[in-house]
Structure 1
Amino acid sequence: MLLDGKKLLITGVLMDSSIAFHVARLAQEQGAEVVLTSFGRTFKITQAISRRLPQEAPVIELDVSKDEDLDSLADRLGEHVDHLDGVLHSIGFAPQGAFNFLEAQWSDVATAMQISAYSLKSLAVACLPRMREGGSVVGLTFDAQYAWPVYDWMGVSKAAFEATSRYLARDLGPKGIRSNLVSAGPIATTAAKSIPDFEQFARWGEHSPLGWDVKDPVPAAQACVALLSDWFPATTGEIVHVDGGYHAMGF
């Protein structure tokens, strides 16, 4: 199996419609042992959703904006796994004010940047004491080379997120750890509901040579699982597009 014996930390499992949920499901089906994270009011929700996986996975508290959660993460992971082979970063948040580019206040932008970009570095560093050589950090992005309608400061955060992955690739490479991203097309997840006028992305498939289903998170999850495996041992700092081919078209 693709992930036989691997031990993975998966963030961002909130509902069974999320990409992260399907990464966790596919990872277990491919032989991995999975630990999930959640925090606050969503913790019990993640615990309930975990029961829908092939094997119920433990859930540990992690708010990436809290130093105390990050500083203790490796020790708390040790209660469930003795090491890590990979981590999925599927975390993003921006206050509503950040979705108005010209009027956004720094406080809203700072929150978006910390949770949606800086946290990739924070999470990777927090996991390092448990990570083995050959490990893999995989994050989920939304193509940041364009100024999308309504995405605004979340789009800027994703640009920072993509740059962060490249710098992680540089600094973690000597430790034998890869850092890559999957740039997924729009998926109708819980997080997407916070984006104003998200429904306009429903026509994405009209300009994608392979088509696109905003209700199908599995293709993006499959790419994440592949990058978490040993099948990309010499690939780092990369962004794999899973968007039906939209990014390559001239629309």
Structure 2
Amino acid sequence: MGDLLRGKRLLVTGVITESSIAFEVARLAQLEGAQVVLTGFGRLSLVERVAARLPEPAPVVELDVTDPAQLASLAERVGGHLDGLDGVVHSIAFAPPAALGGNFLTTEWPDVSTAMHVSAYSLKSLATAALPLMAKGSSIVGLTFDARFSWPNYDWMGVSKAALEATSRYLARDLGGQGIRCNLVAAGPIKTMAARSIPGYRGFEEFWDERAPVGWDPADPEPAARGVVALLSDWFPRTTGEIVHVDGGVHAIGT
């Protein structure tokens, strides 16, 4: 495709299937000249099979973002494949079933804390774990789902996304002095494994189909991935703490 990320060294989390935004980010990044390392959690063999389907097979390192030991060793393990990092992609989120599906008032703290830890605090954990490898001018990019609204059935994942958005702003503040940017892409609904775990997910697709001024295809992760790749590039050198909406324009239309 091009040279937008020529020479960049990237760590991409959250690649589980080829339908994920993270996989599409890794694919486009390689086509734009980047070296990519992926992280996997749990079923590493599955992630490795998916990684082999990229334009260039990518190494996979294990990362449980709730495990202090794995976070502490992340820079060393990634350093076995790359001599530094110019970008980190955070595509990690999880909420127990009890924290979704209209259970907002009855969800207990253990389930809420899991959702917040994995989906929001992990952005800070990943950033600080990767920091020893990150050069001045590096970019951290995460994925969110517009947290200004209380979406049906999204419940504590929605709250976690709001916390993720706040965390990104604080990281932008505290890492800016080191020349590191932190931004988010707010994507429209994409038909991924994670999305299918949300009760009533089909309603999101129907809503977007009705409201997106320029249209939205939930089976196509490329537009959102292009937004991430752009923020990883040098074309946004003074943009940080921002949320870029790649959602067909739904965020701009009154509901």
Given the alignment, which residue of 147, 150, 158 partners 1:147? 150
Instruction: Give the AA of the match of 2:49.
Output: A
Tell me how far 1:205 sits from its aligned partner.
2.0
3-state secondary structure, aligned to 1:12: coil
Q: How does 1:43-82 map to 2 (within 5 A)?
A: 43-82=44-83
Given the alignment, which residue of 142, 145, 159 partners 2:162? 159
Tell me how far 1:119 sits from its aligned partner.
0.1
Q: How does 1:106-145 map to 2 (within 5 A)?
A: 106-145=109-148
Given the alignment, which residue of 18, 23, 38 partners 1:16? 18
Instruction: Give the AA of the match of 2:176.
Output: G
In the alignment, the residues of structure 1 paired with residue 120 and residue 238 of structure 2 have an alpha-carbon distance, to the nearest angstrom, of 24
Question: CA offsets, 1:120-145, max 9 Å, x none?
Answer: 00000000000000000000000000
The equivalent of 1:104 in structure 2 is 107
In the alignment, the residues of structure 1 paired with residue 33 and residue 218 of structure 2 have an alpha-carbon distance, to the nearest angstrom, of 28
Instruction: Give the AA of the match of 1:93.
Output: F
Tell me how far 1:227 sits from its aligned partner.
0.3
1:124–1:137 Cα contact (<8 Å) kept: yes
Question: CA offsets, 1:169-203, max 9 Å, x none?
Answer: 00000000000000000111011111111011121
In the alignment, the residues of structure 1 paired with residue 218 and residue 79 of structure 2 have an alpha-carbon distance, to the nearest angstrom, of 37
Instruction: Give the AA of the match of 2:129.
Output: A
Given the alignment, which residue of 171, 176, 180 partners 2:179? 176
Q: What's the Cα RMSD here?
A: 0.5
Instruction: Give the AA of the match of 2:224.
Output: A
The equivalent of 2:215 in structure 1 is 211
Tell me how far 1:39 sits from its aligned partner.
1.9
Instruction: Give the AA of the match of 2:44.
Output: F
The equivalent of 2:28 in structure 1 is 26
Where does the alignment leave 5 or more consecutive residues of structure 1 unmatched? none
In the alignment, the residues of structure 1 paired with residue 123 and residue 137 of structure 2 have an alpha-carbon distance, to the nearest angstrom, of 18
Given the alignment, which residue of 225, 231, 234 partners 2:229? 225
3-state secondary structure, aligned to 1:36: strand
> Scaled by the length of structure 1, what TM-score is found?
0.99
Given the alignment, which residue of 191, 195, 198 partners 1:192? 195
The equivalent of 1:39 in structure 2 is 41
1:205–1:244 Cα contact (<8 Å) kept: no
The equivalent of 1:244 in structure 2 is 248
- Count matched residues: 250
Question: CA offsets, 1:3-39, max 9 Å, x none?
Answer: 0000000000000000000000000000000000002
Tell me how far 1:115 sits from its aligned partner.
0.1
Tell me how far 1:224 sits from its aligned partner.
0.2
In the alignment, the residues of structure 1 paired with residue 233 and residue 58 of structure 2 have an alpha-carbon distance, to the nearest angstrom, of 19
> Scaled by the length of structure 2, what TM-score is found?
0.97
3-state secondary structure, aligned to 2:120: helix
- Taking only the aligned residue pairs, the percentage that are identical comes to 65
In the alignment, the residues of structure 1 paired with residue 147 and residue 205 of structure 2 have an alpha-carbon distance, to the nearest angstrom, of 19
3-state secondary structure, aligned to 2:139: strand
Instruction: Give the AA of the match of 2:85.
Output: L
